[in-house]
Protein backbone atom coordinates (compact mmCIF):
# COMPACT_ATOMS: atom_id res chain seq x y z
CA UNK A 1 0.00 0.00 0.00
CA UNK A 2 1.31 3.45 -0.84
CA UNK A 3 2.18 5.53 2.18
CA UNK A 4 3.60 2.68 4.27
CA UNK A 5 7.23 3.87 4.17
CA UNK A 6 8.85 6.59 6.29
CA UNK A 7 12.29 8.17 5.96
CA UNK A 8 14.87 9.25 3.38
CA UNK A 9 18.11 7.43 4.27
CA UNK A 10 17.00 5.50 7.36
CA UNK A 11 13.76 4.02 6.05
CA UNK A 12 11.07 1.82 7.56
CA UNK A 13 8.20 0.10 5.79
CA UNK A 14 5.49 -1.56 7.87
CA UNK A 15 3.19 -4.31 6.64
CA UNK A 16 0.36 -6.55 7.83
CA UNK A 17 -3.21 -6.38 9.09
CA UNK A 18 -4.80 -6.81 12.51
CA UNK A 19 -6.31 -10.21 11.76
CA UNK A 20 -3.82 -11.44 9.17
CA UNK A 21 -1.14 -14.08 9.90
CA UNK A 22 1.43 -11.52 11.07
CA UNK A 23 2.54 -7.89 11.13
CA UNK A 24 6.04 -6.49 10.85
CA UNK A 25 8.47 -4.13 9.20
CA UNK A 26 11.57 -3.78 7.05
CA UNK A 27 14.26 -1.30 8.13
CA UNK A 28 16.57 -0.21 5.31
CA UNK A 29 19.53 2.15 5.61
CA UNK A 30 20.68 1.27 9.11
CA UNK A 31 24.49 1.42 9.05
CA UNK A 32 26.55 -1.67 9.88
CA UNK A 33 28.05 -2.20 13.30
CA UNK A 34 25.10 -1.25 15.51
CA UNK A 35 24.71 -3.70 18.40
CA UNK A 36 21.11 -4.93 18.62
CA UNK A 37 19.71 -6.83 21.60
CA UNK A 38 16.61 -8.89 20.88
CA UNK A 39 15.47 -8.49 24.48
CA UNK A 40 15.50 -4.69 24.09
CA UNK A 41 13.25 -4.83 21.03
CA UNK A 42 10.96 -7.24 22.89
CA UNK A 43 10.83 -4.96 25.93
CA UNK A 44 9.79 -2.05 23.69
CA UNK A 45 7.08 -4.19 22.08
CA UNK A 46 5.86 -5.34 25.50
CA UNK A 47 5.13 -1.71 26.40
CA UNK A 48 2.84 -1.46 23.35
CA UNK A 49 1.25 -4.91 23.40
CA UNK A 50 -2.41 -5.50 24.29
CA UNK A 51 -3.54 -7.22 27.47
CA UNK A 52 -0.83 -5.69 29.64
CA UNK A 53 -3.14 -4.27 32.30
CA UNK A 54 -6.75 -3.79 33.36
CA UNK A 55 -6.98 -0.44 31.53
CA UNK A 56 -5.97 -1.75 28.09
CA UNK A 57 -7.64 -4.04 25.56
CA UNK A 58 -7.73 -7.63 26.78
CA UNK A 59 -6.64 -9.15 23.47
CA UNK A 60 -3.93 -11.61 24.55
CA UNK A 61 -0.96 -11.35 22.23
CA UNK A 62 2.60 -12.23 23.21
CA UNK A 63 3.90 -10.01 20.40
CA UNK A 64 7.09 -12.08 20.21
CA UNK A 65 9.42 -10.58 17.60
CA UNK A 66 11.35 -12.64 15.06
CA UNK A 67 14.32 -11.03 13.30
CA UNK A 68 14.54 -12.47 9.81
CA UNK A 69 17.49 -10.60 8.29
CA UNK A 70 20.06 -7.84 8.60
CA UNK A 71 21.87 -9.01 11.73
CA UNK A 72 24.89 -11.24 12.22
CA UNK A 73 25.93 -12.20 15.73
CA UNK A 74 23.81 -9.41 17.14
CA UNK A 75 25.28 -6.64 14.97
CA UNK A 76 23.65 -4.88 12.01
CA UNK A 77 25.24 -5.75 8.65
CA UNK A 78 24.05 -2.73 6.68
CA UNK A 79 21.47 -4.80 4.80
CA UNK A 80 17.68 -4.60 5.26
CA UNK A 81 16.44 -5.71 8.68
CA UNK A 82 13.24 -7.74 8.50
CA UNK A 83 11.14 -8.25 11.64
CA UNK A 84 7.92 -10.19 12.14
CA UNK A 85 5.34 -10.62 14.92
CA UNK A 86 2.69 -13.28 14.48
CA UNK A 87 -0.97 -12.66 15.34
CA UNK A 88 -2.16 -15.41 17.69
CA UNK A 89 -5.31 -14.13 19.43
CA UNK A 90 -7.45 -12.54 16.74
CA UNK A 91 -11.20 -13.12 17.10
CA UNK A 92 -12.49 -12.24 13.67
CA UNK A 93 -16.02 -13.37 14.51
CA UNK A 94 -16.34 -10.36 16.82
CA UNK A 95 -16.29 -8.20 13.68
CA UNK A 96 -18.75 -10.13 11.49
CA UNK A 97 -21.50 -7.50 11.79
CA UNK A 98 -19.06 -4.76 10.75
CA UNK A 99 -18.67 -6.15 7.25
CA UNK A 100 -21.82 -4.38 6.15
CA UNK A 101 -21.65 -1.10 8.07
CA UNK A 102 -19.34 1.81 8.82
CA UNK A 103 -18.22 2.43 12.40
CA UNK A 104 -18.33 6.11 13.44
CA UNK A 105 -14.91 7.84 13.46
CA UNK A 106 -13.09 4.76 12.12
CA UNK A 107 -11.39 4.25 8.76
CA UNK A 108 -14.17 1.94 7.49
CA UNK A 109 -15.93 4.41 5.21
CA UNK A 110 -12.83 6.24 3.99
CA UNK A 111 -10.92 3.04 3.15
CA UNK A 112 -13.94 1.72 1.24
CA UNK A 113 -14.32 5.00 -0.62
CA UNK A 114 -10.62 5.17 -1.50
CA UNK A 115 -9.84 1.55 -2.40
CA UNK A 116 -13.23 0.00 -3.14
CA UNK A 117 -12.39 -2.84 -0.76
CA UNK A 118 -11.50 -3.11 2.92
CA UNK A 119 -10.60 -5.66 5.55
CA UNK A 120 -13.27 -5.18 8.21
CA UNK A 121 -11.64 -7.57 10.70
CA UNK A 122 -10.27 -5.43 13.51
CA UNK A 123 -9.82 -2.49 11.18
CA UNK A 124 -7.34 -4.30 8.95
CA UNK A 125 -4.43 -2.06 8.06
CA UNK A 126 -5.92 0.84 10.06
CA UNK A 127 -5.67 -1.14 13.31
CA UNK A 128 -3.25 -0.12 16.04
CA UNK A 129 -1.53 -3.48 15.53
CA UNK A 130 0.19 -1.83 12.56
CA UNK A 131 2.20 0.10 15.17
CA UNK A 132 4.09 -3.08 16.06
CA UNK A 133 6.31 -2.48 13.02
CA UNK A 134 6.84 1.12 14.07
CA UNK A 135 7.93 0.14 17.58
CA UNK A 136 10.26 -2.63 16.41
CA UNK A 137 11.87 -0.31 13.87
CA UNK A 138 12.04 2.48 16.44
CA UNK A 139 14.00 0.18 18.73
CA UNK A 140 16.63 -0.22 16.00
CA UNK A 141 16.69 3.55 15.49
CA UNK A 142 17.01 4.10 19.23
CA UNK A 143 20.01 1.76 19.40
CA UNK A 144 21.71 3.68 16.57
CA UNK A 145 21.12 7.04 18.26
CA UNK A 146 22.19 5.79 21.68
CA UNK A 147 25.42 4.18 20.47
CA UNK A 148 26.49 6.90 18.04
CA UNK A 149 25.21 10.01 19.85
CA UNK A 150 24.29 9.07 23.42
CA UNK A 151 20.73 10.20 22.69
CA UNK A 152 17.96 9.28 25.14
CA UNK A 153 14.22 9.37 24.34
CA UNK A 154 11.75 9.23 27.23
CA UNK A 155 8.00 9.65 26.89
CA UNK A 156 5.18 9.55 29.43
CA UNK A 157 1.46 10.19 29.80
CA UNK A 158 1.12 13.87 30.62
CA UNK A 159 -2.67 14.03 30.56
CA UNK A 160 -5.79 11.85 30.44
CA UNK A 161 -9.01 13.77 29.84
CA UNK A 162 -8.77 16.77 32.22
CA UNK A 163 -6.30 15.10 34.61
CA UNK A 164 -2.77 16.43 34.11
CA UNK A 165 0.44 15.16 35.70
CA UNK A 166 3.97 16.48 35.52
CA UNK A 167 7.56 15.26 35.40
CA UNK A 168 11.10 16.60 35.54
CA UNK A 169 12.03 16.03 31.92
CA UNK A 170 15.73 16.59 32.58
CA UNK A 171 15.97 13.50 34.81
CA UNK A 172 12.90 11.40 33.93
CA UNK A 173 13.66 7.70 33.41
CA UNK A 174 11.73 4.89 31.75
CA UNK A 175 11.61 3.04 35.07
CA UNK A 176 9.78 6.00 36.60
CA UNK A 177 7.36 6.07 33.68
CA UNK A 178 6.68 2.32 33.87
CA UNK A 179 6.17 2.33 37.65
CA UNK A 180 2.38 2.28 37.12
CA UNK A 181 0.04 0.96 34.44
CA UNK A 182 -0.99 4.35 33.05
CA UNK A 183 2.65 5.46 32.53
CA UNK A 184 2.38 8.77 34.35
CA UNK A 185 5.35 9.24 36.73
CA UNK A 186 3.37 11.40 39.16
CA UNK A 187 1.69 8.86 41.52
CA UNK A 188 -1.26 11.00 42.61
CA UNK A 189 -2.17 11.99 39.06
CA UNK A 190 -1.65 8.41 37.89
CA UNK A 191 -4.19 7.09 40.40
CA UNK A 192 -6.76 9.60 39.23
CA UNK A 193 -6.08 8.77 35.58
CA UNK A 194 -6.51 5.04 36.21
CA UNK A 195 -9.79 5.65 38.05
CA UNK A 196 -11.07 7.84 35.21
CA UNK A 197 -10.18 5.23 32.57
CA UNK A 198 -11.87 2.46 34.57
CA UNK A 199 -14.98 4.61 34.98
CA UNK A 200 -15.08 5.30 31.24
CA UNK A 201 -14.74 1.57 30.49
CA UNK A 202 -17.62 0.71 32.85
CA UNK A 203 -19.75 3.35 31.10
CA UNK A 204 -18.89 1.84 27.70
CA UNK A 205 -17.06 5.03 26.79
CA UNK A 206 -13.46 6.17 26.19
CA UNK A 207 -10.99 8.96 26.97
CA UNK A 208 -8.20 10.83 25.18
CA UNK A 209 -5.09 12.60 26.43
CA UNK A 210 -1.53 13.77 25.77
CA UNK A 211 1.86 12.05 25.60
CA UNK A 212 4.91 14.23 26.28
CA UNK A 213 8.43 13.31 25.16
CA UNK A 214 11.88 14.55 26.10
CA UNK A 215 14.89 13.82 23.88
CA UNK A 216 18.23 14.38 25.61
CA UNK A 217 21.75 14.56 24.16
CA UNK A 218 20.53 15.56 20.71
CA UNK A 219 23.19 16.18 18.05
CA UNK A 220 23.32 19.79 16.86
CA UNK A 221 22.38 20.32 13.22
CA UNK A 222 19.68 17.69 12.61
CA UNK A 223 17.03 18.88 10.19
CA UNK A 224 16.95 20.32 6.69
CA UNK A 225 15.93 23.81 5.51
CA UNK A 226 12.43 24.66 4.33
CA UNK A 227 10.29 21.57 3.69
CA UNK A 228 12.26 18.91 5.60
CA UNK A 229 12.59 20.81 8.84
CA UNK A 230 13.00 18.55 11.85
CA UNK A 231 9.79 19.99 13.31
CA UNK A 232 7.92 19.24 10.07
CA UNK A 233 9.17 15.64 9.86
CA UNK A 234 8.38 15.01 13.52
CA UNK A 235 4.87 16.38 12.99
CA UNK A 236 4.45 14.20 9.89
CA UNK A 237 5.56 11.05 11.70
CA UNK A 238 3.71 11.63 14.94
CA UNK A 239 0.46 12.65 13.28
CA UNK A 240 0.55 9.35 11.35
CA UNK A 241 0.00 7.40 14.59
CA UNK A 242 -3.58 6.08 14.82
CA UNK A 243 -5.83 8.34 16.95
CA UNK A 244 -3.33 11.23 17.06
CA UNK A 245 -5.01 14.62 16.76
CA UNK A 246 -2.47 17.26 17.69
CA UNK A 247 1.26 18.00 17.80
CA UNK A 248 3.26 20.74 19.46
CA UNK A 249 6.89 21.38 20.28
CA UNK A 250 8.40 23.59 22.97
CA UNK A 251 5.78 26.05 24.18
CA UNK A 252 3.58 24.96 21.28
CA UNK A 253 0.13 26.52 21.24
CA UNK A 254 0.94 28.19 24.55
CA UNK A 255 3.37 30.46 22.72
CA UNK A 256 0.46 32.51 21.36
CA UNK A 257 0.02 33.90 24.87
CA UNK A 258 3.67 34.97 25.11
CA UNK A 259 5.61 37.89 23.69
CA UNK A 260 8.82 37.64 21.75
CA UNK A 261 10.67 39.10 24.70
CA UNK A 262 9.64 36.13 26.83
CA UNK A 263 9.55 33.39 24.20
CA UNK A 264 13.01 34.05 22.74
CA UNK A 265 15.81 31.79 24.02
CA UNK A 266 18.89 33.95 24.72
CA UNK A 267 22.25 32.45 23.74
CA UNK A 268 24.86 31.97 26.45
CA UNK A 269 28.28 30.37 26.73
CA UNK A 270 28.39 27.35 28.99
CA UNK A 271 31.73 25.59 29.43
CA UNK A 272 32.85 27.38 26.28
CA UNK A 273 29.96 26.10 24.19
CA UNK A 274 27.01 27.96 22.69
CA UNK A 275 23.81 27.05 24.54
CA UNK A 276 20.48 28.71 25.25
CA UNK A 277 19.50 30.08 28.65
CA UNK A 278 15.92 28.83 28.22
CA UNK A 279 14.25 26.29 25.96
CA UNK A 280 10.92 27.73 24.84
CA UNK A 281 11.77 26.56 21.30
CA UNK A 282 11.83 22.93 22.43
CA UNK A 283 15.32 22.22 21.13
CA UNK A 284 14.68 23.13 17.49
CA UNK A 285 15.25 26.53 15.85
CA UNK A 286 14.88 27.21 12.14
CA UNK A 287 13.82 23.59 11.77
CA UNK A 288 17.27 22.39 12.94
CA UNK A 289 18.23 20.93 16.34
CA UNK A 290 20.27 23.29 18.53
CA UNK A 291 21.57 20.73 21.04
CA UNK A 292 19.04 21.48 23.78
CA UNK A 293 16.51 18.87 24.86
CA UNK A 294 13.76 18.36 22.31
CA UNK A 295 10.42 18.64 24.12
CA UNK A 296 7.25 17.71 22.24
CA UNK A 297 3.69 16.58 22.88
CA UNK A 298 1.11 14.54 20.95
CA UNK A 299 -2.63 14.69 21.63
CA UNK A 300 -4.78 11.58 21.16
CA UNK A 301 -8.54 11.49 20.71
CA UNK A 302 -10.83 9.22 22.75
CA UNK A 303 -10.80 5.69 21.35
CA UNK A 304 -13.37 5.49 18.55
CA UNK A 305 -14.70 2.06 19.54
CA UNK A 306 -17.14 2.44 22.45
CA UNK A 307 -19.64 0.01 23.94
CA UNK A 308 -22.66 2.24 23.43
CA UNK A 309 -25.42 2.32 20.85
CA UNK A 310 -24.37 4.55 17.94
CA UNK A 311 -25.97 5.74 14.74
CA UNK A 312 -24.37 4.78 11.44
CA UNK A 313 -25.04 3.77 7.82
CA UNK A 314 -24.73 0.36 6.15
CA UNK A 315 -22.66 -0.33 3.03
CA UNK A 316 -25.94 -0.60 1.12
CA UNK A 317 -26.94 2.92 2.15
CA UNK A 318 -29.41 2.33 4.96
CA UNK A 319 -29.39 4.13 8.32
CA UNK A 320 -29.04 1.85 11.32
CA UNK A 321 -27.61 1.61 14.82
CA UNK A 322 -25.03 -0.73 16.30
CA UNK A 323 -23.18 -1.44 19.52
CA UNK A 324 -19.53 -2.50 19.34
CA UNK A 325 -18.37 -5.87 20.61
CA UNK A 326 -14.96 -7.34 21.26
CA UNK A 327 -11.90 -6.19 23.20
CA UNK A 328 -10.86 -2.56 22.93
CA UNK A 329 -8.83 0.11 24.72
CA UNK A 330 -10.89 2.60 26.75
CA UNK A 331 -7.86 4.92 26.41
CA UNK A 332 -4.93 4.54 24.01
CA UNK A 333 -2.48 6.62 26.05
CA UNK A 334 -0.73 3.91 28.15
CA UNK A 335 0.17 1.90 25.02
CA UNK A 336 0.80 4.94 22.83
CA UNK A 337 3.90 6.03 24.77
CA UNK A 338 6.04 3.33 23.13
CA UNK A 339 4.80 4.26 19.66
CA UNK A 340 5.44 7.98 20.14
CA UNK A 341 8.99 7.27 21.34
CA UNK A 342 9.55 4.99 18.35
CA UNK A 343 8.40 7.56 15.79
CA UNK A 344 10.64 10.21 17.34
CA UNK A 345 13.59 7.79 17.16
CA UNK A 346 12.89 6.98 13.50
CA UNK A 347 12.82 10.65 12.47
CA UNK A 348 15.98 11.51 14.42
CA UNK A 349 17.83 8.45 13.07
CA UNK A 350 16.94 9.44 9.53
CA UNK A 351 18.13 13.01 10.04
CA UNK A 352 21.29 11.75 11.75
CA UNK A 353 22.06 9.66 8.67
CA UNK A 354 21.32 12.64 6.42
CA UNK A 355 23.65 14.81 8.49
CA UNK A 356 26.47 12.25 8.30
CA UNK A 357 25.99 12.21 4.52
CA UNK A 358 27.23 15.82 4.53
CA UNK A 359 30.44 14.54 6.05
CA UNK A 360 29.78 16.59 9.18
CA UNK A 361 29.75 14.10 12.04
CA UNK A 362 31.25 16.37 14.71
CA UNK A 363 28.09 18.25 15.65
CA UNK A 364 27.12 16.08 18.58
CA UNK A 365 25.37 17.41 21.65
CA UNK A 366 27.51 19.61 23.88
Q: pTM of whole model > 0.85?
A: yes
pLDDT greater than 60 at residue 92: no
Mean local confidence (pLDDT), 260-269: 97
Name the band, by pLDDT with cuts 50, 70 and 90, for residue 97: confident
What Cα–Cα distance (Å) separates residue 304 from each residue in 69, 105, 278?
A: 36, 6, 39
Alpha helices in 118-179 (DSSP H): 131-149, 174-177
pLDDT at 197: 96
Chain segment 275-324, per-residue pLDDT in tens: 999 999 999 999 999 999 999 999 999 999 888 999 999 998 999 998 88
Q: How far apart are CA 107 and CA 277, in angstroms?
A: 45
pLDDT at 99: 82
114 contacts 98 by C-beta, under 8 angstroms: no
pLDDT greater than 70 at residue 35: yes
- Check residue 181 and give left, alpha or beta (phi > 0: left; psi -120 to 50: alpha): alpha
Alpha helices in 154-220 (DSSP H): 174-177, 187-202
Chain segment 185-228, per-residue pLDDT in tens: 999 999 999 999 999 999 999 999 999 999 999 999 999 999 99
pLDDT at 277: 97
Closest among 267, 263, 236, 235 to 249, alpha carbons compared:
235
What residue ranges define each of the domains in the chain, with the CATH number in brackets? 5-357 (3.60.150.10)
CB atoms within 10 A of CB 56: 23
pLDDT at 55: 85
Name the band, by pLDDT with cuts 50, 70 and 90, for residue 52: confident
pLDDT at 229: 98
Q: What is the DSSP letter of 217?
A: S
Q: How far apart are CA 293 and CA 167, in angstroms?
A: 14
Exposure string for 67-95, b = 16+ CB within 10 A, e = fewer: beebbeeeebbeeebbbbbbbeebeeebb
Amino acid sequence: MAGSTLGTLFRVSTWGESHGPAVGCVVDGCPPGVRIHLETIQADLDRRRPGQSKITTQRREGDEVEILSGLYEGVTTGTPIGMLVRNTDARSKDYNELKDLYRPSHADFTYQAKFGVRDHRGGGRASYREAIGRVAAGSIAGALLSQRCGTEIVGYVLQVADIRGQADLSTLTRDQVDANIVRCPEPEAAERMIAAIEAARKAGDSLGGIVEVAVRNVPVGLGEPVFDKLTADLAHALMSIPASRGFEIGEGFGSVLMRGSTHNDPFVLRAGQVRTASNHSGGIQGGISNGENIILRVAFKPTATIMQEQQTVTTSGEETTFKAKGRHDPCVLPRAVATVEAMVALVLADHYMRQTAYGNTENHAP
